[in-house]
Amino acid sequence: MTTVLSAHTYAEAYLYIDLTPCVCRETRFAPAMHAEGEDIRWYGPCPNCGRDRDFLFRFADFADHTTPGYIEYSHQPGPSELIDAAQWLWVCEQYAGTVPATIGELRAVPEQDRQGVRLRLSAAGSALDEVLKFLPRDEDEMPESALWSDWSQQSRAAAPDRFRRPWLEQRQDELRRLIISLPDVPAAEFWGGDAGYQAKIQRLGEVRALWVARHGLAGVDDDRVTPEQRHELQRAERAASDLDVATGFSLNLPAAAIAAYNRLPWAVQRHFTDDPAERDRRLAALTAVRADWLARTGHPSWDPDSIEDEFEIPADRLPPVAETWQMVRAARQAAGMDPDTGEFVAWPA
């Protein structure tokens, strides 16, 4: 039996696979994947020695996906169970080393390269956030328990300052400033242009202030925040940011709507593992809404089973964005979900 590995996100699972070589030391691996109940298995042969390799992951919060265009390794408050502090720091610097290190250079990145730079910068920033999660609150020194291997111990011995709060927080600030300074992506689709971005920041500030006030908290990082309150804030932030509340995907991108639709069957399968008849009834409802919509509008179809490929669909094969999100909402409703939050609700028989 393969051990079930506990991952926060797909991004973290893929990174773990990348950081875990075959026994022959080969790191290249292009696995296939399939769902097994709540778990997802990545498997396939090592390209060097041909051994079968196999990883089985369970996700902390399956519904919680990364915003398209950004890499986020976790949305959980606690540290990773798969990747230790020294590995995260290494990942951070690997990504940070591939992008300009100053705001001036960053602003000069040609438009066509900005999305790639944004992805790598967000990966670096998110990896560093993961390092900091290993630091106990109010302590500056990384505990021994955050370093799981000889390699990690040696990394710290080589640069001890980099495992202390002052350096880490300063680095986090630098990376955040860089991410915010990157000029908008082509067509400004992610945020709706510079003005849209400024408005978004302002709306987010308002949403957070309201939430803090309503719950009598000291701030967004208040220790007393319950998971339900955190979830509520996340939804409010998404609603204020032109993001789909259920997935966090952009309402401005047709590929994001397709990605949201493609995740619905997974949600149904996960919710109704013990009730195959109900599961199949709801899966059929999802399929029917999409098929009707395609037949009615004549928009190009896509393969809903190729879950990783939505953002590779060429622009001329993408349906109009608002209409596609409408179809996603209708599909949720038809499968007994709240059209906004994606949560299962009482369903008229």
- Which residue in 44, 42, 50, 46 sits closest to 16, CA to CA? 42
From candidates 6, 20, 48, 269, binder to Zn ion by CB under 5 A: 48
Which amino acid is present at 107? R
Q: How far is CA 164 from the centre of its chain?
A: 27
Residue whose CB is less far from Zn ion, 49 or 159: 49
State the CB neighbour count (10 A cutoff) for residue 174: 17
Nearest distance from C-beta of residue 45 to Zn ion, angstroms = 8
Nearest distance from C-beta of residue 203 to Zn ion, angstroms = 50
Stretch that binds Zn ion, among 48-56, 145-153, 264-272, 278-286 (CB under 5 A): 48-56
From candidates 28, 35, 49, 139, binder to Zn ion by CB under 5 A: 49
Question: Please, is 204 exposed, middle or buried when counting C-beta atoms within 10 Å of its C-beta (0-12, 13-18, 19+)?
Answer: middle
State the CB neighbour count (10 A cutoff) for residue 52: 8
Q: Does 103 bind Zn ion (CB under 5 A)?
A: no
Nearest distance from C-beta of residue 274 to Zn ion, angstroms = 38
Stretch that binds Zn ion, among 23-31, 134-142, 171-179, 189-197 (CB under 5 A): 23-31
Nearest distance from C-beta of residue 49 to Zn ion, angstroms = 3
Structure tokens at 105: 């250079």
- Asked if 182 and 117 touch (Cβ cutoff 8 Å), the reply is yes
Nearest distance from C-beta of residue 51 to Zn ion, angstroms = 5
Nearest distance from C-beta of residue 306 to Zn ion, angstroms = 27
- Asked if 64 and 270 touch (Cβ cutoff 8 Å), the reply is no
Q: Does 201 bind Zn ion (CB under 5 A)?
A: no
> Residues 6 or more apart from 162 whose CB is under 8 A from it?
89, 156, 168, 171
- Asked if 286 and 297 touch (Cβ cutoff 8 Å), the reply is no
Stretch that binds Zn ion, among 17-25, 252-260, 264-272, 299-307 (CB under 5 A): 17-25
From candidates 26, 242, 309, 338, binder to Zn ion by CB under 5 A: 26
Range 57-74 burial, b when 16+ CB lie within 10 A, else e: bebeeeebbbbbbbbbbb
Q: Does 27 bind Zn ion (CB under 5 A)?
A: no
Structure tokens at 269: 């399968």
Size of the site for Zn ion (CB under 5 A): 7
Q: CA neighbours within 13 Å on the CB side: how many for 78?
A: 9
Nearest distance from C-beta of residue 43 to Zn ion, angstroms = 14
Angle of the 85-96 helix axis to the 114-133 helix axis, nearest 10: 160
Q: Does 17 bind Zn ion (CB under 5 A)?
A: no
Between CA 158 and CA 162 the distance in angstroms is: 9
Instruction: Evaluate the CA torsion angle 82, 85, 87, 93 in order and state its sign.
Output: positive
Residue whose CB is less far from Zn ion, 49 or 210: 49
Nearest distance from C-beta of residue 44 to Zn ion, angstroms = 11
Residue whose CB is less far from Zn ion, 27 or 273: 27
Nearest distance from C-beta of residue 7 to Zn ion, angstroms = 22
Residue whose CB is less far from Zn ion, 35 or 49: 49
Stretch that binds Zn ion, among 40-48, 95-103, 115-123, 205-213 (CB under 5 A): 40-48
Q: Does 46 bind Zn ion (CB under 5 A)?
A: yes
Q: Strand 32-36 to strand 4-7: parallel, antiparallel, or no bridges (unpaired)?
A: unpaired
Q: How far is CA 234 from the centre of its chain?
A: 13
From candidates 22, 56, 109, 119, binder to Zn ion by CB under 5 A: 22
Residue whose CB is less far from Zn ion, 45 or 339: 45
Rule CB under 5 A: which residues touch Zn ion? 22, 24, 26, 46, 48-49, 51
